Chain A
Amino acid sequence: MGNVVQSEARGAVRFSSVEVCGNMAGLELLSDQGYRLDGRKATELRKVQARMGVFAQADGSAYLEQGNTKALAVVYGPHEMRGSRSRTRHDQAVINCQYSMATFSTAERKRRPHGDRKSTEMSLHLKQTFEAAVMTQLYPRSQIDIYVKILQSDGGNYSVCVNAATLAVIDAGIPMRDYVCACTVGFVDETPLADLCYAEESGGVSSLALALLPRGGQIALLQMDARLHQDHLETLIEAAMTACKGVSKVLDEVVRQHLQESSVLSGE
């Protein structure tokens, strides 16, 4: 498993070329030498960069880039129930998630109204993931709002959202059982590929998304809607768990660095 180290981001170099056009269906996702399209090996993750506390007015916020997928997560709460009070739970907090994509997040600008099926489903998945991770029983009769927005989409939207939201929840100071780290893995040529990018996701790979509580190894959410032979499922989950643990290391580092910075600022 490759260590993920951050370094300074280079600016994008833009070409207006038309020549480098490839037939998407014919892309070779894993070369004979074991390189993927973008030069990674099968188990390597994309570069993860993150910042916590990007907004002052929210209780917690984080910005996370995983490769070219960029997400902003904001957490409000815990606060008392707003809107319909009927959803109040007397023994635990209610988690409310909302996922959205920016109009400019994909190659083509597209208006994305709230409440379409895709984002509703994603919101639901996020909600389930965080209900498993946040210690909701500490805040009965209250509500925690998590808003995530994808600013740029390049594959693995769900996992990036989860990772960003984790940082935001931590920033908000809400106790969690563990970091929730998510990662997608795909299965190509009998090899699991960690952290798929958009080209890989759309290249007909059966992919699996997994959210993990890395320390205990508990699975918060597992989602797969492609066909896969049963025999391969275990190796795929194994690879996903390794990848999630890799992500957790990075997140941990981000959190520690953030703490250090803020403690320096507050002069302690």
Chain B
Amino acid sequence: MIKTEKILHLKSCRGRKVRVVREHYLREKVPCYSALCQADCENDGKVLPADLTHYVVPDVGVVVDYLEILEFRELQGVVFTQTACQAVQHAKGRRQYNRLRGLLKDPRHDCVLFANEFQEFSYVQRERGESLEEWQTRCVYSAAVWYRNHLAGLMDVVMITEDQETVSRYSSLNSGVYVISVQDFLLNFWPDLQAAHDLYSSISQVLQEKKESENSQKEFSEHLPAEVLEAGIKSGRYIKGALNVSKHRAQSEASITATEGLSEKNKDLSGGVFISGVKNRNRAVHGDVVVVELLPKSEWRGRAMGLSEGQGEEKGGVEENQSQPLPTGRVVGILQRNWRDYVVTFPPRDGSQSQSRNSQRILVVPWDHRIPKIRISTQQADTLQDHRVVVRIDSWEISSLYPNGHSVRVLGRAGELETEVQTILIENCIHVPPFSDAQLREMPPNSPEKPWAMDPDQVAQRRDLRETHLVFSIDPQGCEDVDDTLSVRRIAGGKLLELGVHIADVTHFVREGSLTDLEARSRATTYYLADRRFDMLPAVLSAELCSLLGGVDRYAMSVLWELDSQTLAVTRVWFGRTVIRSSYQLHYELAQALLNGEPVRVPELTALTSEERDAKLAQLTEALETLTHVARHLRAQRDRGGALELEGVEVRAQLDHEKNITALVPRQPLEVHETVAECMIYANHWVALKIQETFPHQTLLRCHPQPRDEFFSQLVESAMAGGFSIDTRTNKALADSLDRAVDPQDPLVNRLLRMMATAAMSEALYFSTGLLSQDQFYHYGLALDRYTHFTSPIRRYADIIVHRLLAAAIAAAEGEEPGKSLAGHKELDEMAQHINNKNRAAKRAQKLSTELFQNLFFKERDPQTDPHCVADAIIYAIRDNGVLAFVPEYGLKAPVYLKNREGQVISVGPDGGCDWQSGSVRRSSDHISTTSTCGSSTFRLFAHITVRISVRSNHFHADSLNLEIISNKPHSSAEPEKPRPQGRSQLVQEVVRLAEEASQQAQEEAARRPRVSREEREYRQSKSPNLYSLLEEVRELALLDLETAAAAAAQVCATTA
């Protein structure tokens, strides 16, 4: 490489005008990344194909304003110039720039970056007096010409621009290099790409209007410049944080969550800073990173304490009760916009729509309550009435009450199932297109005529367990993607037990960096919605080649422990790649039946004679019993360490053939679930130990931080009202006190308390070990010092990473040099963040879709007549004008109002029936009472009431369920759950004290297992309701309820202060 010449740039920095002279080196060889290259450029990475009709070079203005159009995968052969990329960085900020970078890195997009300013012949110097824009255009044009010449005229180059002057100036200079406008380009080359055309007109309209609107009237105060903010944050004058808008009072309440350094500097701000009203929020949108200035103490406000009914629609009126004033601030600047795609609904045309001078501008209402209305301009307003549309926000002018946006695509009519499901996906930033052909081509061939077979070389390299070990899997019924199998046997004359966990060897099929791998990485997890799922890996892998099905040979990644058969202490561990053949593919109910000694039919054994069958059955049952024994021991070990048993509510909608909902079924665990879960936790734990030991600074682990004390306040308070004391100092103390808090009359109380404890938990997270110090690796919920995810590589990307790490660790232990360098700490950290985000999104989408189906279930029923709509509920929290109730039958939590908008309150008649009367509500810590003309009535915490469930439809947002109290007595048909004698006493020694009632419910559940519909069989996967997945799911719910927890915390502060 030769440095040819040096050219000086002159720059001046913001503020004072300082001349900075920079060198600029040019070189002859700059890779062109084209397959047509004649000059042997060093093209590694993405290369533009040779079989295109033209390459596209977008002008600076096009890249800055119309990047979204260039994001269409249909557009091929796009050459981004360095000039344009830098312009994006300057004009649009880091977020947009990162988006462009992501585009360039993504192998699915056919576009490359050309460093035109470093190429000797494509670089042009800026001339005296030449404006920046002119120079940039000249640069891009010269790059386009260079491409044409570099490829020896084999490819036509099209430069697209928005500037007509450029078109007229350059279009006739060179043959083969065409300069045309974006519109012409789309019309000529992509006449069929309707989506791009729509997007183009939508964006250009926005730009047009931006030019026109030079309104002087200011609605908000100006944001401060970046340096002032930076300095302010450093000096402690301002506070930086992510804006979190209240879900229930989006109009008036928001807060910023404390970020690093804040709590140290200022103790009373550890709970965040409250921001009251839209004015103080100053154009920040939920999720933005903002800078806040504290207001003087006299202007501090408190949160409203009552339950809000109308989602913040009501304005003014009665002054509501407020909590103690919180530290309150106002937004002075925005560091980072975190705008994403929003789903909005077009309002129906009723004339009341405020239309400012231009009839094409419309205020649309986002689906997410926390996002303000968005003003968009479109010509399709009439046709799009009542439709849900994806919208992006462009800007928020200081003169406008609402942000401006443009529409991207139409999802469909509001209220239809498909539209709603799409809405859920987009609102959670989940993007799951079907797998592309290129990705599917990477899959090993497997067809009925030519089934996939194992490679003898591979078999030779692996440990063969097919003959020696009895391997079996336990999964939900009808499961397709079996990623974990178990084995257990006695060795060394019965002195030792060998426990084995065999996990599908996904990394054998998914090579690092392949298209499948990249797709899996960007999905990060399989998404389960109530009625469908989106796989992380193509079906040929997830359901066939990786799935450890019964009776076929499969590759596996195994962990084998040798345990002392008496003390169950580990004497040796072996990790490695193996070949296995699963003998039995059991499901949970079957395994439990085998354990209980009930006569069952094992499908694998039906062909055998009865003696053979009995022998095999005895062998299997013995293995299962041993496994249960070991699992109990492991559980006991963890219990001593303080593992928590938590309670989650999960409801599954049962669908029939037409996708109508027949019932809502809460899911509950069996004991064998726990056994399997325990083995998986153990495997995860040991793998975590192994890889962390080998790669101390670049391992992906999972930690669960200790929850913050203030989140427990609701739990402690509620428990106190019920007469229990909860000790939250350590996880051990918490687990013990939760076990003690049992109301013999009402098992639900304990369940509720556990649910509240779960809600208080912080979220378990993946992290790179280089990031945290060793004492932060602790998993609070499981009481383990190291934990990771290893056992479900088919549906989680984190497990794939861990598999690769483990493989590298095994290779390192054998003295081999790792073939490819592993992901560095920084890369791993980014990956962990990405996976955490995606997991969060997946959980949220799952919860939303369950709610969607819940709503559909109740929507079809008439609340006045249908018996399904009347249910038993239990009060678990008290608010100013109502209570929060939990309906165990459907597993739903919702507010129940005791006072309605007209000021009427519930009054209880002599028979327990309730009706609305005028009166007042008084609230104390453990009960709430209403007084009306007919006397007063009291509702205590943990009291059972009967509620009627109805759906409150909402045109713009998701529907929500409404609970109406109809009686203060328990619902008559709700069968009281009596403690049952347990069938476990005859089982082997009881080492562990297990929560009484989990097993009770398990027994009950086993008794009334719902019939499995076709849909379920088709879609159900090994997403087993076992304990540890439950733990995590529930934690997600906890995250969503953080707001209520925070509100509760604030409330406590208020009462104690």
Residues of A at the B interface (CB closer than 8 Å) are 2-5, 7, 9-10, 12-26, 28, 31-33, 35, 37-41, 44, 46-47, 67-68, 107-108, 154, 189-190, 197-199, 231
Contacts and interface: CB of A to CB of B under 8 A. Distances in A.
Nearest to B27: A39
A28 B21 contact: no
Contact of A17 (B5, B125, B132): B132
Contact of A32 (B90, B105, B118): B105
A contact patch SS: loop
25 contacts: A3-B1, A7-B4, A10-B5, A12-B10, A16-B10, A17-B12, A17-B126, A18-B17, A19-B132, A21-B11, A22-B13, A25-B230, A26-B89, A26-B94, A32-B105, A38-B23, A39-B25, A39-B115, A40-B25, A44-B25, A46-B23, A68-B8, A68-B22, A107-B20, A107-B21
Contacts of B94: 26
A44 B6 CA distance: 14
A68 B7 CA distance: 11
A122 B20 CA distance: 24
B226 interface: yes
Given A32-B104, A154-B23, A190-B824, 6 more contacts: A13-B10, A16-B10, A17-B11, A23-B226, A32-B105, A38-B23
B721 to A, nearest CB: 52
A20 B11 contact: yes
Contacts of A2: 1-3
Contact of A107 (B18, B23, B125): B18
Interface in B121-140: 125-126, 128, 132
B18 A12 contact: no
B334 to A, nearest CB: 15
Contacts of A31: 115
B26 interface: yes
A218 B23 CA distance: 31
A178 B597 CA distance: 88
A20 B4 CA distance: 24
Interface in B75-114: 89-90, 94, 101, 104-105, 113
B19 A32 contact: no
Contacts of B3: 2, 4-5, 40, 44, 47
B952 interface: no
Interface residues of B, number: 45
Contacts of A46: 23
A15 B126 contact: yes
B826 interface: yes
B9 interface: yes
Contacts of A38: 22-25
Contacts of B17: 18
Nearest to B23: A38
Nearest to A67: B23
B10 A15 contact: yes
Given A12-B21, A13-B125, A39-B117, A21 B13 contact: yes
B442 to A, nearest CB: 25
Contacts of B697: 231
A69 B379 CA distance: 59
A4 to B, nearest CB: 7
A17 B26 contact: no
A68 B23 CA distance: 7
Those 6 A-B pairs whose CB atoms lie nearest each other, nearest first: A39-B25, A12-B8, A39-B118, A19-B132, A38-B23, A2-B1
Contacts of B230: 25
Contacts of A67: 6, 23
Contact of A21 (B4, B12, B27): B12
A10 B6 contact: yes
Given A15-B126, A32-B105, A39-B26, A20 B5 contact: no
Contacts of A17: 10-12, 126, 132
Contacts of A68: 8, 21-23
A13 B126 contact: yes
Most buried by B among A26, A37, A39, A44: A39
Contact of A197 (B23, B27, B113): B23
A23 B8 CA distance: 19
Contacts of A24: 13
Interface in B20-69: 20-27, 31
Contacts of A4: 3
Contacts of B101: 32
A11 B13 CA distance: 23
Nearest to A46: B23
B9 A154 contact: no
Contacts of A41: 1
Contacts of A9: 6
B14 interface: yes
A44 B1 contact: yes
Contacts of B125: 13
A32 B226 CA distance: 26
Given A39-B118, A154-B21, A15 B9 contact: yes
Contacts of A21: 11-14
A13 B8 contact: yes
Contacts of A107: 18-21
A24 B20 CA distance: 12
A132 B18 CA distance: 39
A135 B239 CA distance: 59
A3 B2 contact: yes
A241 B915 CA distance: 87
Most buried by A among B1, B2, B23, B115: B23
Nearest to B128: A15
A31 B115 CA distance: 10
A13 B127 CA distance: 9
A67 to B, nearest CB: 5
Contacts of A10: 5-7
